[in-house]
Structure 1
Amino acid sequence: MPSIEQIIAQKVEDSADDIVKTLSDLVSFPSIVKSDPTTAGPGERDCQHYLKGRLEKLDFETDLWDPDGPALYEKYKGRPGANKGRTFEGRPNLGGVLKGRGGGRSIMLTGHIDVVPPGAAEHWKSDPFTPVVDNGFVRGRGTVDMKGGVACMLMAVEILKTLDISLAGDIVFTTVVDEEIGGMGSLAMVDRGFKADAGIMTEPTANRIAPLCHGILWGRIIIDGVGGHAELTPNAWYSSGPVDAVQLTRQMLDGIDILNRRWMFDPRKNHPLMDLPNQIIVTQLTVGEHPSSMAGRGEIIIDAQYLPHEKDEFGLGGAVKREIEEHVANICQADPYLRQHPARVEWILDADCAEIPADSPFVKVFQEATEASSLSPALSGFGAHSDIGLPTSLGNTPTVNFGPGDPAQSHQPNEQVSIRDLIDCTKAIAIAIAKWCA
């Protein structure tokens, strides 16, 4: 007689077309997160209403609400996920609870439905929001980050219901907005009271269990030179200018390279589950004002990473901010002009991180589920930021990342996920629910 794991696995294989259809439905909603966080994306509400309908057909008690951004900010100011200026009109969160028979452990399945803009249309083989099934893959914006994972967690529950597998523990299902610009949607979800004994966030991990993620700092380094005519001989350099902000910016970039080199060999900046050490990545440069004018100002936008053991007393990256600020100050000391006119750092975002112990009961159960799904039980780090810190630290729901797709496909044109990955992810989640909530 086949085991319950084998029965679930076979049912998932038989449901491959339904998994693909569910993902295709989700991709067709252009739930784009706007750079202006007060503006709703064109498909965020519609996507959540679709999921709400699917949950209610499975007998979930659902809750669809527009979070109160200003009130959340005031309540959690200075804490993870609290970002000023957020409003959520037309950008709802969705939560649902499927009650078990009682006496068992609960699980939360969580993900985000907002996606980044698709970028230039000519970079895509097809319309980003018209899903295409091609050569064993589903292509479209969000297939990897992270509607593929949302489709898998929904289908895992649906398949367990179809098989009439009785669970003692509750299943909590949440999908949030705002993840791509700071994570306040997850903060609102935890504040709403959604929690469980363990959680799975279906960010793309190539179907590897990732019990930790990086914290992320976004910062702006501002360098003030003195503008002047680029083609004429300058007069006294330190008094009236000009002072070339391009040259000063290059010096600052060289200094960032030095810090990155130091971090490569610093044990505090490395983790055995992470492929790379923490880095300061320069993501944007703005220098100069006019083709014939020497640059009077430079701005460097950085994306810096930190690990859970580096968190400050507020659960954020304050200590790493100070480390970077001190390094920028030291770079300025090496230049006569910057010594008198030092660069300054303005912080844009601090997104927290978390780590679940590798020997925790849920991680062990989930590893057994991945093995039963013919996947590797080996643990991995999630190199980007995800929202697992909010349910883990604030909601007391130890949460791991696990989802289908190559994470490097995230935010790229022609983003695509393999159907095989979707099937295997759905298997592992369904089996994990059955084992954990039994």
Structure 2
Amino acid sequence: MNNVERVTAAIAERREELFALLAELIAHPTVSPPARNSGGAQSLIARKLRELGFDVDRWTVFPGDDNVVGRLRGTAPERANSLIVNGHIDVAEVGDDSGWTYPPFALTRGRDGRLYGRGVADMKGGLAASLFAIQMLREHGIELKGDLIFQSVIGEEAGEAGTLAAIERGYTADYAVVVDTSHLHMQGQGGVITGWITVESPVTLHDGMRARTIHAGGRVHGASAIEKMMKIIASLQELERHWAVMKTYPGFPPGSNTINPAVIEGGRHAAFIADRCALWITVHFYPNESHEAIIREIEDHVLAAAAADPWLRDHPPAFRWGGRSMIEERGEIFPSLELDLGHPALSRLKRAYEAEMQCPPVVDMSGTVTDAGWFAHAGIPAVIFGPGELSQAHAVDESIDPDELVRFAQIMARFLADWCNTEKE
């Protein structure tokens, strides 16, 4: 038995230590929204990283929500591959927990043998198992030649740019594994962006002026911003249908690229003609598309429709896209991730999976979005690979198969020992 085999055997034998670490993380109710509550959990992550020999960088992204990034410096970083292991510390809100069989913030083994608690699948399980895999490598004396960067970031559940903040701080690597919920599938993803489209009149007209703005001879060039927004919504529906006909991507059902008019706000009082209307849209796009290109496509289409309207031609809609927080800015971006199927890191991750599972992995597309797209957007090749079923994310009685957690830790241990000890191409 070689050293890596000893590590994977130790992970199985000492699995209760992994579950104990997960229990510590689950005990911290880092729900988002409301967020601003991750301090205790991040202190636990930072302490564990220091114990494992990492240099730890902790900084505030929002008051009460810090990012924690650890770097384990390799013995030959200029020659060997580096890796980012990324996960988010926040979990979905619970609200009224009367529907839960088990307490959401205490790790509980159910009668069915599964582990229950908010975040076990999405995604404190992936964070805990990755840390435990690294601990076992360290305890068994397996050194890494390349740098290993461990990121515990805030804000993913509320579209907050914790991972983007880590990238902007200068953290990069030859590959990134986002250990979010994928049921041990290796996945790419589409993207999501939200945007506000606003129609605004330069003047506010009394309701009594309506007849002069809509009937012959009134000679008042005014309009209801709400009614003009209806034309913009119709143009978005036309574009959405065009996308459904003209665009496809393997692994996605036809028509997955949607434009949802999610929220509309307009008007000031029944005694006035609406002088302002704002529409909040959510746009889903495919892995081979960028949010920048999608923005241009939507704006061009809407502005062309506006140019055909006599009033909108003179008062075109304004656009505001994305944002770094759904809480603070009512806007978010999740860039897409198109998998590089020929990347050597993905090949080695597949090899680690096959060695542990004795079968090839499933490589497909996530049905949701994660922070993984930020790495692709920054030019860092990445994959989503983590434990837990997507159906458990945000669910009442969120649960995970403990055997899957152990297998994930074993696969990650194999992959880390291989990739970070392989010479750069």
Report the TM range for the smaller structure's normalisation. Answer: 0.7 to 0.9
Shift of 1:215: 3.1
1:318 matches 2:296: no
Residue identity in the other structure for 1:377: P
Residue equivalent to 2:245: 265
Distance 1:357 1:296, change over 3 A: same
Distance 1:411 1:426, change over 3 A: same
Residue equivalent to 2:39: 45
Shift of 1:393: 5.0
From 40, 49, 52, the equivalent of 1:55 is 49
CA distance in 1, matches of 2:73, 2:311: 66
Q: What do the CA deviations read for 1:118-140 (whole angstroms, capped 9, x no partner)?
A: 33444544543333332333333
Q: CA RMSD in A?
A: 3.7
Distance 1:195 1:249, change over 3 A: closer
From 58, 62, 73, the equivalent of 1:65 is 58
Distance 1:250 1:19, change over 3 A: farther
Residue equivalent to 2:117: 140
What secondary structure is seen at the aligned counterpart in 1 of 2:36? Answer: coil
CA distance in 2, matches of 1:88, 1:353: 25
Q: What do the CA deviations read for 1:58-88 (whole angstroms, capped 9, x no partner)?
A: 2x23323225xxxxxxxxxxxxxxxxxxx53
Residue identity in the other structure for 1:215: G
From 369, 372, 378, the equivalent of 1:388 is 372
Residue identity in the other structure for 1:149: G
Q: What do the CA deviations read for 1:144-166 (whole angstroms, capped 9, x no partner)?
A: 33212111211111222344434
CA distance in 2, matches of 1:165, 1:61: 15
Shift of 1:351: 3.9
The answer on whether the counterparts of 2:334 and 2:374 sit within 8 Å (CA) in structure 1 is no
**TM-score normalized with structure 2 length:** 0.78
The answer on whether the counterparts of 1:108 and 1:172 sit within 8 Å (CA) in structure 2 is yes
Residue equivalent to 2:384: 401
Residue equivalent to 2:16: 17
The sequence identity of aligned pairs, in percent, is: 27
Residue identity in the other structure for 2:352: A
Question: 5+ residue gaps in structure 2?
Answer: 324-332
1:423 matches 2:423: no
CA distance in 1, matches of 2:408, 2:45: 19
Shift of 1:249: 5.8
Residue equivalent to 1:70: none
The answer on whether the counterparts of 1:66 and 1:88 sit within 8 Å (CA) in structure 2 is no
**TM-score normalized with structure 1 length:** 0.76
Distance 1:289 1:205, change over 3 A: farther
Shift of 1:389: 4.2
Deviates more, 1:287-296 or 1:128-137: 287-296
Shift of 1:331: 5.1
Residue equivalent to 2:260: 281
Deviates more, 1:21-30 or 1:95-104: 95-104
Residue identity in the other structure for 1:370: Y
What secondary structure is seen at the aligned counterpart in 1 of 2:364? Answer: coil
1:353 matches 2:330: no
Shift of 1:18: 2.6
The answer on whether the counterparts of 1:275 and 1:381 sit within 8 Å (CA) in structure 2 is no
CA distance in 1, matches of 2:131, 2:253: 30
Q: How does 1:127-276 map to 2 (within 5 A)?
A: 127-134=103-110, 135-210=112-187, 212-222=188-198, 235=211, 238=214, 252-267=232-247, 270-275=248-253
From 346, 350, 363, the equivalent of 1:367 is 350
The answer on whether the counterparts of 2:67 and 2:152 sit within 8 Å (CA) in structure 1 is yes
CA distance in 2, matches of 1:408, 1:161: 34
Q: How does 1:104-123 map to 2 (within 5 A)?
A: 104-122=80-98
CA distance in 2, matches of 1:291, 1:27: 50
Q: What do the CA deviations read for 1:392-426 (whole angstroms, capped 9, x no partner)?
A: 554x6422111112234433444333323322222
Distance 1:129 1:301, change over 3 A: farther
What secondary structure is seen at the aligned counterpart in 1 of 2:62? Answer: coil
Q: How many residues align?
A: 401
What secondary structure is seen at the aligned counterpart in 1 of 2:131? Answer: helix
Shift of 1:206: 1.8
Distance 1:420 1:291, change over 3 A: farther
Distance 1:138 1:302, change over 3 A: farther
What secondary structure is seen at the aligned counterpart in 1 of 2:146? Answer: coil
Residue identity in the other structure for 1:11: A
The answer on whether the counterparts of 1:228 and 1:242 sit within 8 Å (CA) in structure 2 is no
Shift of 1:359: 0.6
CA distance in 1, matches of 2:353, 2:398: 25
Q: What do the CA deviations read for 1:349-393 (whole angstroms, capped 9, x no partner)?
A: 344334341111101001111222326423222343333344455
Distance 1:251 1:157, change over 3 A: same
Distance 1:138 1:220, change over 3 A: farther
Residue equivalent to 2:326: none
